[in-house]
Amino acid sequence: MSLTRIYAIFIRQVFLYKGNPMRLTAPFLWIFVDIILWGFISKYLSAFGNATFNFTSVILGAIILWNFLTRIQQGVMTAFLEDVWAQSFINFFASPLTIKEYVAGLVATSLAMGLASFLVMAAVAGLVFGYNVFKIGLIILPFMLVLFIFAVAMGIFMTAIILRFGPSAEWLGWPIPFVLSIFAGVFYPISTLPAALQAVSKIIPASYVFESFRGLTGAVSTPHLLANFLTGAGLAIIYLALMYIFLIMIYRRNLKNGQLSRFGAE
């Protein structure tokens, strides 16, 4: 793969945002609203004084991490959709650019957006509510890596779905993080769920991250941090590999039957 061509895909997205800063309004506005809303909800719950842990630490930390995952997933999908909306996706492949390099460029774009949103959320949480997401230490970083890998897998999956069914399939991608949050136990222990839903949680990498995060904040006892990390990381890597293979299969299928032409200029 050529790093130059990967960087070209990345820098194109940078110029899109630079040319129209309003593109950044929606994602960062949602981030700000989420932190403020859940921050005050956390303060309200903590005011009861009956809990043995700090609601602000648990809920705000979960919001920050889940938004990080969401921005990565939607970053991959949105970067691809920018090319679809501009009817320029097919034009890229008139150049030496390969699908592997294109996907790598999308991932680089989503990583930049995810890290930017994470830093903004951490800053807002610190300034408004005095919450420091890093107070549990650098142990949070490997768990963020699990979320990143899983989010990229979800983003690639939605890219493949849009390639297969057309641009209208984008509406399936926006609610995916909200649906998965039910099974990932973002705001509550997995043990809260019915047995059938707990079985689903066991195959979702993010559930191991949030169970561990609650343990690190003292909300629950989680003695198996290493096991949780290894399980979550293993599942995330498997999903990433499968989703990438799925995308390549869809791309080659579209090349063979000519359906890739619907993503070009009319």
Q: For residue range 31-49, what is the model confidence (pLDDT) as tens digits? A: 888 888 888 887 777 776 5
Give pTM, 2 decimals.
0.88
- Closest by CA to 54, choosing from 140, 122, 131, 144, is 131
Q: Tell me, what's the pLDDT at 266?
A: 47
Q: Which residue shows structure tokens 């895909």?
A: 9
Q: How far apart are CA 163 and CA 152, in angstroms?
A: 16
Q: How confident is the model at residue 220 (pLDDT cuts 50, 70, 90)?
A: low
Q: How far is CA 51 from CA 45, 64, 129, in A?
A: 9, 21, 18
3-state secondary structure of 156: helix
Residue 40 sits at the vertex; the CA angle it makes with 185 and 191, to the nearest 5 degrees, is 20
Q: Which two tokens stand for residue 223?
A: 């003695």
94-123 confidence digits (pLDDT tens): 778 888 899 999 999 899 888 988 888 888
User: Which residue type is seen at 59?
Assistant: I
Q: Tell me, what's the pLDDT at 219?
A: 52
CA atoms within 13 A on the CB side of 153: 21
- Closest by CA to 75, choosing from 32, 125, 109, is 109
Residue 92: pLDDT above 60? yes
Residue 221: pLDDT above 60? no
- Closest by CA to 228, choosing from 137, 152, 118, 147, is 147
187-219 confidence digits (pLDDT tens): 888 888 888 899 999 999 999 998 888 877 665
129-159 confidence digits (pLDDT tens): 888 888 777 888 899 999 999 999 999 999 9
* Segment holding 122, helix H or strand E: helix 99-129
Residue 126: pLDDT above 50? yes
The greatest distance separating any two alpha carbons of the chain, rounded to the nearest whole angstrom, comes to: 64
**Residue 219 vs residue 180, higher pLDDT:** 180
Q: Tell me, what's the pLDDT at 16?
A: 79
Q: Average pLDDT over the chain, rounded to whole?
A: 83
What single DSSP character describes residue 218?
Answer: T
2-17 confidence digits (pLDDT tens): 888 888 888 888 887 7
Q: Which two tokens stand for residue 237?
A: 């890597």
Residue 52: pLDDT above 50? yes
- Closest by CA to 161, choosing from 218, 243, 237, is 243
